[in-house]
Structure 1
Amino acid sequence: MEQAPLLPAIAWLAASEEPAVRRAAHREFLGTPWPGGDVSSGRIVSSLLAGQTSDGGFGVHPYRKWTGAHWRLVSLVDLGVTGADAPTLPDAAGTVLDWLHSDQHLSQVRTVNGLTRRCASQEGNALYVCARLGMAADARVARLARDLIRWQWPDGGWNCDVDASGRRSSFHETLPAAKGLHAYWEASGDPAARAGAVRAAELLLEHRLFKSSSTGRPIDPRWVKLRYPEFWHYGILPALLLMSRMGLAGDPRTQEAADVLRGKMLADGRWPVEGAWWHPPGAKGQTDVTDWGRTGPNEFVTLSAVRILSRGLPAAVPTADPAGWAGSHA
């Protein structure tokens, strides 16, 4: 995608009220130095950091949806928050590692017909977080990578369904696992992690990221909806972002999904959110600790879309705020 159509969205992101979003726009799209500011002071980031206890957790099981440390950390790292921004993040990651390596948790790993049945999104998301937080040298983190590689199915993915035939993996479990292995390879240089991520990406690419190989139609209509955060759910937005990070955005098999994403750009240059996997604080159901926005143009969906579509383009500073969005966050 040419740079010019993205400039309104970049200008909007650069004027965000959330410091983490502004920093991402400056560093990733504008090529300009971050002018500074406390990233942890933003509404979203401060909500995700709130309530941390002395043991590093947040007073609930690490995997509690969507308020446990597991989910908070993925959201924080996706926004580019690091241990330098919030020094207690490695402590929170430690509680996740303790859970994943506990005897109780590991006893849930099953092998049926020679295939490991494992919710690999759990290890995958944790591996992604720890690699991004500079924890790749931790032996517990290296074990996550080894386990994921050991559990990988012949088709390149992972699946936790004990009743599955073994013919096909779960895209929901495969995307986070691939994301974690790729991040771990970037942090550690482990070639086995790279190979595992590439095998998983090939599975997704075989299906044009969202299509049935037999019918050519979307495997699940929800996969083409733009939602944020995705947590463990599959969709073209996180899939395209991973392909971009892996240097696979130029693969022709990504183009149909990318065209769907381009087609969802609003007339004003932003991207909408199309549903949510979460409920806002205080609501019934699986609530998040913050409100990411459930309708209309969405900063976080737009940030992902621009990250995907700007990959490989030279940074260019918008000369003006073309839509007058500075301070406007509808």
Structure 2
Amino acid sequence: MDTVAWLLEAEDPSIRWQAMRDLGGSPPAEVAAERAKVATEGWGARLLALQPADGCWGGDVYGENGDRRSVTWTLHLLRRLGIDPAQAPVREAVERVRTGVHWREQEGGLPYFEGEVEACINGGVLALGAYFGVLDGADRLIDVLLSEQLDDGGWNCDAPESQRSSFDSTLCVLEGLAEFERATASTRPDVETARRRGEEYLLERNLYRRLSTGEIVLPRYANFAFPPYWTYDVLRALDYFRGTGDPPDPRIGPAIELLLHARDADGPWPAGAPWEGEVYFAVDAPEGRPSPWNTLRALRVLDWAR
């Protein structure tokens, strides 16, 4: 299979435009034109159309019992689709969230983009605010997250009861810090320092191993599901490091080998087991079938790693 051609002919513009940018070598104007379609057709347009007038997708801010139809997971999916934040329908949807959605009282009752109490959620909210251009709560979020960084360099939503970092929480925070730096051309050295320490936590462990035994920390780290929600996996981590723009660290080698081992013989990567919980609609292939999202992300990671 010509996997790049397959991706360039994908059913949804969110896949096509990223393949054009990252794999196809298309001119920037053509990439931008394809990206603009995400807000007007396909999955991105469908998600925008599902937002109620009060801004609260699914009637929930985060999503109880694994429900993925909430404000948080809808915005994260739109970000991963690469929807253009500057387009009018996107700006209007985000503004409805900014003015109309608040966290619950037990979580501070703050406006959505100012975050709540858990590091993994706050890291995600920081990423969303930076991506969509809403930096109202960014300074607060960064101050809280930097104060919660553990001695080993990472984060854990169960801290302070646990003083050992979680791969899940750490990657969620790293994505937020990196998105903030990209959006603001940040001159805050404390943000970069914290991000580098968090990256070191993962790199020391080859992105998936225990320091003590070298074994995989959790089998689910090898399950490449899209969208990933709060959950860590090796492909998500590799794509994060690629996105920082830094050259590949040699310590990602074992993770690259794991990624290559997961590839189907005819070229694509299969879809992982989806996480439980209600969704508006599927955006990836059924488990075990060729996955456009895993293939797109894996190919661009391999190009970067070379």
Q: Fold conserved (TM > 0.5)?
A: yes
Task: Answer yes or no: is the 8 Å Cα contact 2:224–2:272 preserved in 1.
Answer: yes
Corresponding residue number in structure 1 for 2:151: 154
Task: Answer yes or no: is the 8 Å Cα contact 1:26–1:32 preserved in 2.
Answer: yes
The one-letter code of the counterpart of 2:9 is A
Compared CA separation, residues 192 and 163, structure 1 to 2 (3 A): closer
Q: Residues 153-302 of structure 1 correspond to what in structure 2 (within 5 A)?
A: 153-161=150-158, 164-166=161-163, 168-188=164-184, 189=186, 190-248=188-246, 250-278=248-276, 286-291=277-282, 292-295=284-287, 296-302=289-295
Q: 1:22 aligns with which of 16, 21, 26?
A: 16
Corresponding residue number in structure 2 for 1:328: none
Give the secondary structure class of the aligned counterpart of 1:82: coil
Give the secondary structure class of the aligned counterpart of 1:66: coil
Percent identical residues:
32
Compared CA separation, residues 95 and 242, structure 1 to 2 (3 A): farther
Corresponding residue number in structure 2 for 1:74: 76
Corresponding residue number in structure 2 for 1:320: none
Q: CA deviation at 1:103?
A: 5.2
Corresponding residue number in structure 2 for 1:316: none
Task: Answer yes or no: is the 8 Å Cα contact 1:57–1:95 preserved in 2.
Answer: no
Q: CA deviation at 1:162?
A: 5.4
The one-letter code of the counterpart of 2:22 is E
Give distance in 1, aligned partners of 2:166 and 2:80.
Answer: 22
Give the secondary structure class of the aligned counterpart of 1:32: coil
Task: Answer yes or no: is the 8 Å Cα contact 1:73–1:89 preserved in 2.
Answer: no
Corresponding residue number in structure 1 for 2:129: 130
Q: CA deviation at 1:246?
A: 2.2
The one-letter code of the counterpart of 1:48 is L
Query: More displaced, 121-130 or 42-51?
Result: 42-51
Compared CA separation, residues 194 and 92, structure 1 to 2 (3 A): farther
Task: Answer yes or no: is the 8 Å Cα contact 2:119–2:173 preserved in 1.
Answer: yes
Give distance in 2, aligned partners of 1:175 and 1:231.
Answer: 11
Give distance in 2, aligned partners of 1:293 and 1:312.
Answer: 26
Q: CA deviation at 1:134?
A: 2.4
Structure 2 unaligned regions, length at least 5: 110-116
Task: Answer yes or no: is the 8 Å Cα contact 1:229–1:277 preserved in 2.
Answer: no
Q: CA deviation at 1:59?
A: 4.5
Compared CA separation, residues 303 and 89, structure 1 to 2 (3 A): farther
Corresponding residue number in structure 2 for 1:90: 94
The alignment's C-alpha RMSD in Å is 2.5
Compared CA separation, residues 205 and 248, structure 1 to 2 (3 A): farther
Task: Answer yes or no: is the 8 Å Cα contact 2:61–2:102 preserved in 1.
Answer: no
Query: More displaced, 149-158 or 38-47?
Result: 38-47
Give the secondary structure class of the aligned counterpart of 1:139: coil
Q: CA deviation at 1:196?
A: 1.5
Q: CA deviation at 1:312?
A: 6.9
Task: Answer yes or no: is the 8 Å Cα contact 2:57–2:74 preserved in 1.
Answer: no
Q: 2:136 aligns with which of 139, 145, 167?
A: 139
Task: Answer yes or no: is the 8 Å Cα contact 2:120–2:157 preserved in 1.
Answer: no
Give the secondary structure class of the aligned counterpart of 2:304: coil
Give distance in 1, aligned partners of 2:97 and 2:195.
Answer: 22
Task: Answer yes or no: is the 8 Å Cα contact 1:97–1:126 preserved in 2.
Answer: no
Q: Residues 86-105 of structure 1, C-alpha deviation per residue, up to 9 Å, x if partnerless? A: 23242255269742xx6531
Task: Answer yes or no: is the 8 Å Cα contact 2:54–2:100 preserved in 1.
Answer: no
The one-letter code of the counterpart of 2:131 is R
Compared CA separation, residues 93 and 251, structure 1 to 2 (3 A): farther
Structure number with higher relative contact order (C-alpha < 8 Å, ≥ 6 residues apart): 1
Give the secondary structure class of the aligned counterpart of 2:226: coil
- Please tell me whether residue 46 in structure 1 is matched to residue 45 in structure 2: yes
The one-letter code of the counterpart of 2:144 is D
Structure 1 unaligned regions, length at least 5: 1-6, 108-117, 279-285, 314-330
Q: Residues 204-240 of structure 1, C-alpha deviation per residue, up to 9 Å, x if partnerless? A: 1111110111111101111112111110011101111
More helix as a share of residues: 2
